[in-house]
Structure 1
Amino acid sequence: MKLQDPLPVRVLTKNIRYATNNPFEGEERWTERRPYLTKELLFNTLNCQESFICLQEVLHNQIEDIWSDLNAAEEWAYIGVGRDDGDKAGEYSPIFYRTSVWVLEKWDTVWLSRTPSKPSKDWDAGSIRILTIGVFTHRATKRKVVAMNTHLDDASSRSRLESAKIILSQIKEAHDYKGLPVFLGGDFNSEPGEEAYLEVTGDSSPMADLKLLVPASRQYGDSNTFSGFTEATRRKRIDFIFLGHPTEQGGPGSTWSPTGYAVLPNRFEDGVYNSDHEVVVGDMELV
């Protein structure tokens, strides 16, 4: 039986900053930030048709704007719902993909609470939080991927920890019953060494931080991913791409071979920040 060639996949994750009527110091309104942000997404997915885009803090009007701008070039679709009602209210954590490349097999939203099937919050969370999950099949090679995207709570450490546990239970279910490669993108509001990061990357977890899997010679850009809108803001690394089922773990089916990692600037020469977060770009191959 002839082995398939490696399949390059690119994953972007970015907190776009919700459209507010009360911008922070240094923050432009969404109408000003929009072209900077959507062009960033378009350019960084231009040369990899198998790209996925994970976004956070996306209000309904923003998801419509981004979808429109992406489809000015090619046919993209997305999965995800507003977290407040499971429809259009509140922030989305969507996953965008090209319909000519990937077939969506199924998708779901999991609320990160004690009642994960309906809009809800627990553990002193400041906001309702969700996990978006999609199972995709590559049209040309029939390889499957599980894509996940989330945005953990900024107010409650307990919520971040318990949410990470729920996410891991979803990931382990995918591994145990399907043997599929998984990626998880998102804003974790947790730095390396803090609760959610340690849970996701712990000894009992099948996940690993992509940055730590890629040699320094194949990395580019900043270390921190949160910038705020001013130079005075304390920068933090809180946005991540995690890979499950990396090559060295073995097992059935395709596995990941990490090939690149970057954190790209979000401030332009005219002083505009396209968001208070930088985009994290991960390159990998299905082997």
Structure 2
Amino acid sequence: MDPRNHSSVTEFILAGLTEQPQLQLPLFLLFLGIYVVTVVGNLGMITLIGLSSHLKTPMYYFLSNLSLVDLCQSTVITPKMLVNFVTEKNIISYPECMTQLYFFILFIIAESYMLSEMAYDRYVAICNPLLYNGIMSYYRCFQLTAAVYILCIIQSTFHTCLMLRLYFCKANIINHYFCDVFPLMELSCSSIYFNELLALVCSSFNVLIPALTILISYIYILYKIFHIHSTEGRSKAFRTCSSHILAVAVFYGSAAFMYLQPSSPSSVSSMDEGKVSSVFYTIVVPMLNPLIYSLQNRDVNVSLKKMLERRIFF
């Protein structure tokens, strides 16, 4: 599909997080550091799980996929965002913008469902330990993961195709630090009814279904934990659950604030609030996930220690 047939705009300008010059350098250094930690953490986790024979379990299979999604999602957003802090105008071409939109939607939806699959895996492990190996077989884990990626590709394709049909003839300044659905729709001078409808339906589905899955899983998990007689066992389980729930709350809360609020194109303050909330689920959460899901895990720490000792020995 040739973009020139649908838009007189050949490039966009990303407004970024702030227009205050004194904040540009501090924010650049901050988000550069976050991106480095994100890449090292997630890439390291993928490598560790792939090389360690002790981590060949369904839990770490899902974790490696979550790390891959976080790594890709951060790479789609952050490098272009960093450019905005060191250039006077952060220009992105029409094809680049649509490509960024496509992969952002793909990975943000995948993040949502990966979190729910991890919660379901923990539910089976804690509440049905005798049936765990049968229920969470390698083939079943592969099916669940493949289904997530297929669903994400389908939805991302629909969103992008509907965006490509819009005609952009207004100002080309996107009030955001990346090409997102609602900021792009604000610039359109053609009907966005179907775009808004698809965004609302898909956003509701992709937030509520995984969130309900996580909530129900944890209700059963907590019920099981309360029946653990060991104080130490309950304390350890509660610490694990609280970290997971905190990360899930940050991700779904910020995503819901951005996408489940009524559309108000004239409200600049609403979009500015949305930019701040989107920082959490596009940049902060991918950095935190390797820490809260992995570095506090004893199996991961033992495997990492063994790998480092083996590397030093050689």
TM-score, with normalisation over the residues of structure 2?
A: 0.28
- Which structure would you say has the larger Rg? 2
TM-score, with normalisation over the residues of structure 1?
A: 0.30
User: Which structure carries more relative contact order (alpha carbon 8 Å, separation 6+)?
Assistant: 2
More helix by share: 2
More strand by share: 1
